[in-house]
Each structure stands twice: as structure tokens, then as C-alpha cells.
Amino acid sequence: MDKDNSKTEKKPVTQDDVLLASLKLFSEKGYFNTSLTDIKDAVGIKTTSGIYQHFKNKQAIAEALYSNILDSLSISIDDIRRRNKKSSEQLREIVDLLFKLTDDAPEIMRFLLVVNIKEILPEHKNLVETAPFNKITRVIHNGIKNGEIRAIDALVAYNYFFGIIKHTLCMVLSGELSKTADSYQSQAWTVAWGSIIKK
Amino acid sequence: MDKDNSKTEKKPVTQDDVLLASLKLFSEKGYFNTSLTDIKDAVGIKTTSGIYQHFKNKQAIAEALYSNILDSLSISIDDIRRRNKKSSEQLREIVDLLFKLTDDAPEIMRFLLVVNIKEILPEHKNLVETAPFNKITRVIHNGIKNGEIRAIDALVAYNYFFGIIKHTLCMVLSGELSKTADSYQSQAWTVAWGSIIKK
DNA sequence: GTCTATACGCCGATAGAC
DNA sequence: GTCTATCGGCGTATAGAC
């Protein structure tokens, strides 16, 4: 023990370290304003070379980030659908999840909602076409079939509902709405649900 | 008349030519995926030098574009407010304007709604804080004062109302909603207005 | 896995002739 | 206002020693 290494311990940089640092930078400054040099600094290594141990290029970092986020969201939504019967309950819990994430992990939500993924990965699907948001649309679809939600096109209903939710979260994330997401949640839910419910 | 110059006439490139070409490219590929070389090609000159006659750098093009669009929008909104008394009528016409623009000049709306201006011009205000959208908020504020709109925070009302409108337009612009903006307008209006109206 | 060193391409930008 | 020519720099990426 030649030196105090209780905190300064030098552990090798992992993939997750790179992802975490990149997520933060991408969501703060945007993908194109973030250089590998920035990432390397945030991760705490001296050159960018170390990053290429884990990712073949800069795009691959964004890809990994995006698919990680979508996967974990998808799993959460599966879980929600399993635990709840009614569409209203399922949507309610999904909204709850998104608002919580906005307060607890704003970088994730900023990356998901603010960063324009098609500008980074032109080949990638739109948000609506990804697994988790497909599932949300399916929840809405079911709600229409069983009469909870009024009979309009499921995508259009998704559009109204999620338009309100997403805009609320974006305004919180950008600071245009100054309080926590949590404090807007119940109102936003009521209005969003009200916009598609069968009266 | 040594050659046919009825169409091939060589007129000097104007500021507007540059702006128009840039708008198209920015809205299609994004600001960062568009190089001055791309712009120069689209404008039809041989080198990028010509561009510097009109703009001091690439950012300045985006700035000019953005402020032009905001200015013209602002003027239209002033006009709408002058011609209509009730908040509902004013909002109705503003929505009409935005939907028409989406069908007739999608590049403009894509630049306004999809392009993340803060990534290009970090110093710039958020969309809500710009003149035209400030005016929309003021319209809503008046609607609350005179009892057309229910008594909630004006920004929150703006959020609900514009969340639906913006999301609809974005989905049309990205092709996720496949028909023209026009065909979604009356429904979207009804729902958006319904989300803030005093019952 | 991290370092030194380095390559290289692209892009933004300028100088100066026409 | 457009051209030729050219520059500097940044950012990505690789080779190879430790």
C-alpha cells in the first residue's frame, strides 16, 4: 500500500463508463458538439484510443446508448402491461414512469426526447416505430377495442395523448416549465387522458 | 444573343438563394450534416467563397434563417390578433396558419419544430421565449382572463394546447402520420382547444 | 487497457486575381 | 461577385510500445 487508494483507486475504464459520460455530454451539448476528446476527458483517460477498445466509432456509442434506453423502457412497459388490466391503468403507469425518469434521470429523457436521433443515425427508425412506443400504441389500440378510448385511429390517439405528455416533459427538461416533472404529472395525465377517453 | 439565355441566364447569387438552399438542406439533413460545400453546390456556384459575400460564417446563415422565420410568423400573428376578437378565434387562425405552412412549406416548419436551435446557436432563446410564441402565450393569457379558457397557468395551457398541435405537425413532417397536415387539422384543433377550454 | 505518436480527411475560412 | 488556390485546425481514427 504505497499510496492511499481508497478513492483514487485506478480501475480500468469500462464500456459503461464511456456510455454514461457520453450520455451526459450528448444530452447537454448535443451529439455534434461533443467530440471524442470531450468524452475521453469525462471518462478520465488521456487519449481517445481507449474508447476504441469498446466502440468502433462515435456513432456506435450513440447506437448503444439508444438501444440500451429503448430496451430498458421496453422491459418496463412489458412489466406494466402484465401488472395492469385496463388500458387506462397501463397508460397511467407508463406516464408515471416517464415523469419519474424525467426527474431522476433527465439525461436519459433528454437523449430520448430532445436529441434528434435521425440526424445522428439516419438509418434509424422514428421514435414511434421503436419497440417501446409501438407497445404504447398497442395499449391505446386495445383501449379503443374495449371501449375505454374513443374510436379514432390509434396513431392519432397516440399523437394527442403523447403530444401532451412529451411536450410537458420537454418543457421541464429545457427549464421552460420551472418545477419538477412530478408537480405537473397529475394535471398532464388528466388532460392527456381526457383528450382520448370515450365520454 | 450568342446563346439561348432564356432559362440559363446567369444571374448573380443573392442572399436569398443561399438562405433558401440552406433551409432545404438543414431541414432535410440537419445543420451539422450540411457542409458549406453542400450549400455551395445547391446554390450553383463553384466555391464556398461566394457565400462569405453574404454571411460571415455558417452559423450566421442559420441565425438569419431563424430570425426571418420568426419575424414573418410574428407579423402574421399580429395580423391575426388584429382581425379577431376572441381568443378562440385567434388561436383557431394561428393553428390554421401553422397547418397550412406545414403542407405548403414543410422545410420552414421542419426548421422551426424539428431542428434543435439550441444545438446550433447555444445562446439562443427557447422557442417559447421567442416573439411569436410569446404572443401565442399572451393570446392564451387573455383567454383565461376573459373566461374562455379555464384558470390554469398560461404556460401550462400553452403546453397542453401546443403539445397536441406541435406533435401532430411533427408526425406529419416525419411521415409518421401519412396524410397531409390539413386532413388532421380540424380534429387536432378540437382536441387541443378542448384541452384548455372552460367547460 | 492505457499510453505516445501520428496520419489524414474534411471542413470552415481567407487572400487575391479576374 | 465569382473564381483559383491555399491554409489552419479540429476531430476521427490507427499503429505500436508499455
Tens digit of pLDDT for each residue in A23-76? Answer: 999 999 999 999 999 999 999 999 999 999 999 999 999 999 999 999 999 999
pLDDT, averaged across chain A: 94
pLDDT at residue A7, rounded to an integer: 39
Residue with cell 427508425: A125
pLDDT of residue A1: 36
Q: Is the CB of B53 under 7 A from strand C?
A: no
pLDDT digits (tens, 9 = 90+) for A66-112: 999 999 999 999 999 999 999 999 999 999 999 999 999 999 999 99
Distance separating alpha carbons of residues B79 and B73, to the nearest angstrom: 10
Output the pLDDT for position A9: 53
Identify whether the C-beta of residue A140 lies closer than 8 Å to the C-beta of residue A161.
yes
Domains of chain A: 12-56 (1.10.10.60), 66-194 (1.10.357.10)
pTM: 0.94
Which residues of chain A does B156 touch, with a Cβ-Cβ cutoff of 8 Å? 177, 184, 187
Which DSSP state fits B132?
A: H
| Contact by Cβ (8 Å): B156, A165 | no
Q: What is the pLDDT of residue A180?
A: 98
Q: Are residues A18 and A60 in contact, defined by beta-carbon separation less than 8 angstroms?
A: no
Helix (H) or strand (E) holding B38, with range, is helix B36-43
Smallest CA-to-CA distance from B45 within B13, B93, B3 is with B13
C-beta separation of A76 from A96 below 8 A: no
**What is the average per-residue pLDDT within A10-16?**
78
Q: Which residues pair with A149 in a beta bridge?
A: A197
Q: What is the pLDDT of residue B12?
A: 74
Looking at residue A12, its pLDDT comes to 74
Confidence of residue A5 (pLDDT cuts 50, 70, 90): very low
Which segments of chain B have a pLDDT < 50? 1-8
pLDDT reported for residue A150: 97
β-partners of residue B197 are B149
CB contact (8 A) between residue B191 and residue A195: yes
**Closest Cα in chain B to A193:** B195
Where on strand C do bases come within 7 A of a protein Cβ?
A: 1-5, 10-16
Q: Where are the alpha helices (DSSP H) in chain A?
A: 15-29, 36-43, 58-83, 87-104, 106-109, 117-120, 131-145, 154-174, 182-194
Of residues B90, B106, B63, the one with CA closest to residue B149: B90
The closest of B57, B9, B11, B58 to B32, measured between CA atoms, is B58
Mean pLDDT for the stretch of residues A125-151:
97
Cβ atoms of A64 and A26 within 8 Å: the answer is: no
Measure the CA–CA gap between A196 and A184, rounded to whole angstroms: 19
Q: Is A195 in Cβ contact with B164 (below 8 Å)?
A: yes
Nucleotides on strand D lying under 7 Å from protein C-beta: 1-5, 10-16
Task: Pick B155's closest partner by Cβ from A159, A177, A194.
Answer: A177
- Please identify which residue in the block is written with the cell numbers 438543414: B26
Q: Give per-residue pLDDT as tens, A155-177.
A: 999 999 999 999 999 999 999 99
